[in-house]
A = this chain, B = another copy of it.
Amino acid sequence: MTNPARRLHLNAFVMANGHHEAAWRHPDVRPTDALTLAHYVDIARTAERGRLDSIFFADNLALPRNVRFNGHSAFEPITLLSAIAAVTEHIGLIATASTTYNEPYLLARAFASLDHLSRGRAGWNIVTSAGQDEARNVNLAERPDHADRYARAAEFLDVATALWDSWADDAVVADQAAGIWADVDAIRSIDHEGEHFQVRGPLNIRRPVQGHPLLVQAGSSEAGKEFAARTAEAVFTAQQTLEDAQAFYRDLKGRLGGYGRSPEDLLVLPGISPVIGRTEQEARDREAELNSLINPQYGLAQLSAMLDTDLTDVPLDEPLPDVAPGTEGNQSRFDLVVGLARREDLTVRRLLERLAGGRGHRVVAGTPEQIADEIERWFTDGAADGFNVMPPTLPGSLDDFVDLVVPVLQRRGLFRTEYDGATLREHYGLARPTVRDRHPEKENAA
């Protein structure tokens, strides 16, 4: 049995009609529902019914090149999650936002606003934007290079955290009789003068309910892992095998000490796309049905983006040609995809099928018990603190996960049956950051 003190965490990664690339073509799916708020509210409520920790939206600052063949998440995540905040009670709300193409003052404020609107349920998936098209939408001819992106990200987080901490928690006094709204000694400018940013502060919104929103990260390059070890509290990752996942888990946890942090301060959440059937055969049939709807032209465009190389014309029934790992794109996804093709000696067509379910994330088809077994094994064997659950179709597969798999995990004592905290940090068992450094007299007074 698992250590009862250690708790499994489950995040629902929400993507339009689902994570299988042909999800929108499945007969159970009404594709244009993904263009409505109601669809996402329904999903959020399902996640809440399943007592999941959080929902999460990816993001990208350019229209995907292959929109001809596939829908994409139509909404901007912070606005969408703000709307969802108003009609949910418990579920954590994690939005992706780029440090490469945003301003720290504006973004720190938007997350603080979401955190207050949701009474402490905001999370930020910090990305450095590996795509090629985003830069050209925001006045740049080229994306900054990989090292620069991470250097900017580090400084961005320094500024953002300083801004959140620019107000002590109790700065608002609202003393009607004395006419004093705020204790201005508890609100400090930050006077940041760095290489990428000059920001005076203070922030124009008081400290977030959670101190800082939950900080999530999803890069797996060397620079990405160092950034995560320094900054992140949860890490999303794509892992195909238990061994790779264990190695990644050990690697990342091992880096924390270098930043004065403990292994429990950062949770590792690999992706899992569960294809659920009442029987194993039903699950396999469902997977085959989805794969039968794949469009290889779309798959090749996706593969090209993942490998940062134009592969739109490669022959489908031959092995993946030699491709050189770039230094600028998503390095870990490159290694994962090429590794999978070589290890299993796949043709391009078979590789596209293997990627269709989760763009490189692990797909597990089986009964609820079998899926729970996989989750338990990775959780107990040092590969995961929880999972980034990627339903193949939406809303259907999330309903199935919540109605069929979650109860198994609950019966095994692995997963909560009720929320016992109010904030996203409390769901994840993470401490609320103090403002010791910036407001020393406040800490003494406490």
Contacts and interface: CB of A to CB of B under 8 A. Distances in A.
Interface stretch (A175-183, A217-225, A342-350): A175-183
Contacts of A103: 101, 138-139
Interface residues of A, number: 75
A206 B71 CA distance: 11
A205 interface: yes
Contact of A86 (B83, B140, B198, B293): B83
A320 B106 CA distance: 37
A429 interface: no
Interface in A21-71: 22, 24-25, 27, 29, 31-32, 35, 37, 41, 60-64, 67-71
A86 B41 contact: yes
A101 B106 contact: yes
Given A69-B181, A102-B106, A202-B63, A35 B80 contact: no
B204 A139 contact: no
Contacts of A105: 61, 137-138
A295 to B, nearest CB: 5
A176 B31 contact: yes
Contacts of A68: 180-182, 184
Contacts of A32: 172, 174
Nearest to A85: B83
B116 A35 contact: yes
Contacts of A109: 76
A3 to B, nearest CB: 38
A40 to B, nearest CB: 9
Contacts of A187: 63, 67
Contact of A62 (B64, B85, B139, B204): B204
A181 B71 contact: yes
Contacts of A70: 181
A179 B69 contact: yes
A12 interface: no
A74 interface: yes
A239 to B, nearest CB: 28
A113 to B, nearest CB: 4
Contacts of A172: 32, 35, 71
Contacts of A102: 106
Given A102-B106, A116-B74, A137 B60 contact: no
A180 to B, nearest CB: 7
A236 B35 CA distance: 33
A266 interface: no
Given A79-B82, A83-B86, A179 B116 contact: no
A325 interface: no
A395 B71 CA distance: 42
12 contacts: A24-B176, A29-B176, A31-B181, A35-B206, A37-B116, A61-B105, A61-B106, A63-B202, A79-B113, A103-B139, A133-B200, A140-B198
Given A83-B117, A139-B197, 13 more contacts: A24-B181, A31-B176, A32-B174, A37-B85, A61-B105, A61-B204, A63-B187, A78-B82, A82-B82, A84-B86, A102-B106, A137-B201, A141-B198
Interface of A: 22, 24-25, 27, 29, 31-32, 35, 37, 41, 60-64, 67-72, 74-76, 78-80, 82-87, 101-103, 105-106, 109-110, 112-114, 116-117, 133, 136-141, 172, 174, 176-177, 179-182, 184, 187, 197-206, 293, 295, 298
Q: Which 4 interchain pairs have the tightest Cβ spacing?
A: A82-B82, A76-B113, A136-B200, A83-B86
